[in-house]
Amino acid sequence: MDDKVTKSANKEAEQVLEWGESRGIETCFTRAEKLKPCPIGESGACCKICHMGPCRLVGKNAEEEARGVCGATLPVVAARNLARMIAAGTACHGDHGRDMVFTLLAVANGETKDFQIKDVKKLYRVAGIIGVEFEGRPVNDVARDVALKFLEDFSRQRGEINYIKRAPKKTQERWKKWGIVPRGIDREIAETLDRTTMGMDADPDSILTHGLKVALANGWGGSMISTDISDILFGTPSPIKAEASLGIFKEDEVNVVIHGHEPSLAEMIVDVVYEPEMIEYAKSKGAKGINLGGMCCTANEVMMRHGIPTAGGFTNQELGIMTGLIEAMVVDVQCIMPALTQLSKKFHTKVITTSDKVKMPGATHIQFDEHRAKEIARDIVKMAIDNFPNRKTEGSHVTEKFPVIAGFSHEYIEYMQGGRWRASFRPLNDAIMAGRIRGVVGLAGCDNPRVPATGMHKYLAIELIKNDVLVVSTGCSSASCGTAGFLTPEMALENAGPGLREVCEAIGIPPILHLGSCVDNTRILTIASAMAAEGGLSDEIGGMPAVGIAPEFITEKAISIGCYFAASGVPVIFGGNSPVGASNEVTKIMTEVWFKRFMGALHFEPDPEKILAMALDYIDKAREALKLKKYEPGKFGTERVLMDMAARREMERSAIPHAGVGG
Ligand code: MSK
């Protein structure tokens, strides 16, 4: 890690921050400096579930001796805290998915003319997976049945959510064996809250097992539904050029930022800013045009499909306003800092909230409604244009920006490996088997002002590709890589190890593939399932030479994502201190016990060099267990020891790497 960096590892962000600090402007970085985390709450040792407390379970032998007033032990308290984080994260992604289902239903019922079904092929593919008849039926009838069937997935009281069947059979068998196949998404969230309240489940393993169940309801339910419906409505992404940086804003144009997570309103705004009347209107106010940019995951959604540039991830949102160039920051849901409205008073930026679930004093609220989507988008863009003459000269304008290639969907990755008629994952599996590609890392999650923001992502991205590890990125990790100039094919030439470079050059792809937003982590699940089905590696998600890393995680959503990957069979390493670090028992369950049961794990490790070493070790041990060629940089081969049943059983019992790490 570069220790010259101070608050943000992104040069442009640092420039704006320095400008703001010289004027006494507060940001999440200055607040993080002033406000140290409470060490008791941070490590999961504080129980505030009932009003006999809050109980702080601290002391020399807290694990064995500390008790809350009700008698709850430290592992119980830590496990309950973690389960509630998973449930909250699942609720966020679940609601996102549900809103997408309602938009699809409105389209199918002809209640909105503003959205259309753009990817009929994907609709049919989804219909086929969930058992909706599609041959010879009108598209809208199929879409209606798909939407209704997904709505059932939210409220189902018994049985299983539909998408569970997309996982490899062996992965499903593990879930069945341990009783974590989710029923309805809402049902599992409600049960988590019930189960973790005072006087309920007091067995840490049982609490955490349910935690995995609610996490799976996110990964194979809410989030996966969300990704698929977004593709159906707005198009399945394929590679597209864009730009990233706080330098995307234009001094002579109306700058509109769309920030949050849900793509529906953002899609309409993309349409509206290109309308000739709207551009004329902007000119009438003295601007040369309208410049649309994104922030956080709404940015990822519209970048993946339209090449709309991003101003960066979570920690750049205040800095965007501090450029003094944004006429309107339009926010939908999740990861919106309440500080935006206070900060916007110092500039001319209008903060526009659009969801009933995200209201902020000082913001202008324009409620989004999918039935009048375009009309609302026009009102918002007009409001931004009307604000252009109010722009002050105040602000830290930056100019540098970086090219980005985004748009790597499951479907495109399959296509790029064999074309339209031979699309498959065979070349990727072969490259891994031959040792050209050592393994795959999903680099995901937030950027965090408590570390030099974006710095852990940058460090790990470079080091992983140097080690011939293919990186697939999502969320603010993609923004961190994009604003550093890492999302280009040239990165392979300059930084990738020899094997990965050869593969990237042959296919013409960057060594870091931008897969989309936070909900699009589910693209990694379906890719891993396809790799298992392709053969030659593991026949389930568990056991693949693959690791998930969220080095700067912040949100409950990230915890939920980490847990659904762990339950699906992927070892996951989070940066920062563990939110359950106070309990060795809970740490052991998440690392050793989950690895034995699911071949996945959840570690917390603040040191980026150790994260890298752990990830490579997991990958190498998985290669060894699969009897793949030993990874040696620059030495490739095709030889592979075929496995008999005994060898496969041995693989099941393979050593548990990093047992006890974390916390
Ligand atoms: S936006 S959840 S800060 S990745 Fe998806 Fe970024 Fe984390 Fe929000």
The answer, yes or no, to whether residue 34 has pLDDT greater than 60, is: yes
Of the listed ranges 160-174, 322-336, 435-449, 481-495, the least confidently predicted one is: 481-495
**8 Å CB contact between 500 and 469:** yes
- Alpha-carbon span 186 to 202, nearest angstrom: 22
Do residues 523 and 426 both lie within one domain? Answer: yes
Q: Does 294 sit in the ligand 1 pocket, CB within 6 Å?
A: no
- The answer to whether residue 260 sits within a structural domain is yes
Q: What is the CATH number of the domain that holds 94?
A: 1.20.1270.30
- The answer to whether residue 292 sits within a structural domain is yes
Do residues 206 and 267 both lie within one domain? Answer: no
The answer, yes or no, to whether residue 660 has pLDDT greater than 50, is: no
Strand partners, 635: 632
For residues 499-507, give the mean pLDDT.
Answer: 91
Per-residue model confidence (pLDDT) at position 662: 37
Do residues 190 and 265 both lie within one domain? Answer: no
Do residues 226 and 266 both lie within one domain? Answer: no
Do residues 511 and 415 both lie within one domain? Answer: yes
Helix (H/G/I), strand (E/B), else coil: 662: coil
Q: Does 518 sit in the ligand 1 pocket, CB within 6 Å?
A: yes
The residue to mutate among 555, 557, 561, having the most atoms of ligand 1 within 8 angstroms of its beta carbon, is 555
Question: Would you place residue 387 in the very low, low, confident or very high pLDDT band (cuts 50, 70, 90)?
Answer: very high
Do residues 476 and 497 both lie within one domain? Answer: yes
For residues 82-87, give the mean pLDDT.
Answer: 98
pLDDT digits (tens, 9 = 90+) for 454-493: 999 999 999 999 999 999 999 999 999 999 999 999 888 8
- The answer to whether residue 426 sits within a structural domain is yes
Of 297, 165, 177, 164, give the one whose Cα is nearest residue 221: 164
Per-residue model confidence (pLDDT) at position 2: 54
Of 275, 264, 305, 297, give the one whose Cα is nearest residue 106: 264
Of the listed ranges 93-97, 475-479, 520-524, 632-636, the least confidently predicted one is: 632-636
Q: Which long-range contacts (CB under 8 A, 24 or more apart) does 123-131 make?
A: 123/232, 126/228, 126/232, 129/162, 129/163, 129/165, 129/166, 130/162, 130/163, 131/162
Atom of ligand 1 nearest to the CA of 313: 6
Do residues 258 and 125 both lie within one domain? Answer: no
What's the domain range around 306? 240-390
Per-residue model confidence (pLDDT) at position 618: 98
Q: Does 619 sit in the ligand 1 pocket, CB within 6 Å?
A: no
- The answer to whether residue 502 sits within a structural domain is yes
For residues 544-569, give the mean pLDDT.
Answer: 98
Do residues 324 and 413 both lie within one domain? Answer: no
Q: Does 314 sit in the ligand 1 pocket, CB within 6 Å?
A: yes
Per-residue model confidence (pLDDT) at position 659: 43
- End residue of a domain, out of 216, 234, 252: 234
Q: Does 557 sit in the ligand 1 pocket, CB within 6 Å?
A: yes
Strand partners, 291: 255
- End residue of a domain, out of 341, 362, 390: 390
Per-residue model confidence (pLDDT) at position 302: 98
Q: Does 313 sit in the ligand 1 pocket, CB within 6 Å?
A: yes
For residues 35-45, give the mean pLDDT.
Answer: 96
Q: Does 446 sit in the ligand 1 pocket, CB within 6 Å?
A: yes
Q: Does 88 sit in the ligand 1 pocket, CB within 6 Å?
A: no
Question: Would you place residue 392 in the very low, low, confident or very high pLDDT band (cuts 50, 70, 90)?
Answer: confident
The residue to mutate among 227, 303, 337, 476, having the most atoms of ligand 1 within 8 angstroms of its beta carbon, is 476
Do residues 45 and 136 both lie within one domain? Answer: no
Ligand 1 centroid–CA 517 distance in Å is: 8
Q: Report the alpha-carbon angle 531-227-483, nearest 5.
A: 90
Q: Does 445 sit in the ligand 1 pocket, CB within 6 Å?
A: yes
Do residues 117 and 162 both lie within one domain? Answer: yes
Q: Indicate the pTM of the whole model.
A: 0.94
Question: Would you place residue 658 in the very low, low, confident or very high pLDDT band (cuts 50, 70, 90)?
Answer: low
pLDDT digits (tens, 9 = 90+) for 270-283: 999 999 999 999 99
Atom of ligand 1 nearest to the CA of 314: 3
- The answer to whether residue 397 sits within a structural domain is no
Q: Residue 653 gets which letter from DSSP?
A: T
The residue to mutate among 446, 478, 549, having the most atoms of ligand 1 within 8 angstroms of its beta carbon, is 446
Q: Give the pairing type, strands 469-474 and 46-47.
A: unpaired
The residue to mutate among 518, 553, 556, having the most atoms of ligand 1 within 8 angstroms of its beta carbon, is 518
The answer, yes or no, to whether residue 661 has pLDDT greater than 50, is: no
Q: Residue 364 gets which letter from DSSP?
A: E
Overall domain count for the chain: 4
CB atoms within 10 A of CB 248: 29
* Mean pLDDT rounded to a whole number for the chain: 94
The answer, yes or no, to whether residue 76 has pLDDT greater than 90, is: yes
Ligand 1 centroid–CA 445 distance in Å is: 6
- The answer to whether residue 324 sits within a structural domain is yes
- Alpha-carbon span 2 to 456, nearest angstrom: 10
- Alpha-carbon span 609 to 166, nearest angstrom: 35
Ligand 1 centroid–CA 70 distance in Å is: 36
Q: What percent of the chain has pLDDT over 90?
A: 90
Q: What percent of the chain has pLDDT over 70?
A: 95
The answer, yes or no, to whether residue 377 has pLDDT greater than 90, is: yes
Do residues 543 and 507 both lie within one domain? Answer: yes
- Alpha-carbon span 109 to 105, nearest angstrom: 6
Q: What is the CATH number of the domain that holds 632?
A: 3.40.50.2030
The answer, yes or no, to whether residue 343 has pLDDT greater than 60, is: yes
Do residues 453 and 531 both lie within one domain? Answer: yes
- The answer to whether residue 66 sits within a structural domain is no
**8 Å CB contact between 581 and 235:** no
- The answer to whether residue 658 sits within a structural domain is no
Q: Does 550 sit in the ligand 1 pocket, CB within 6 Å?
A: no
The answer, yes or no, to whether residue 649 has pLDDT greater than 50, is: no
Q: Residue 433 gets which letter from DSSP?
A: H
pLDDT digits (tens, 9 = 90+) for 134-162: 999 999 999 999 999 999 999 999 999 99
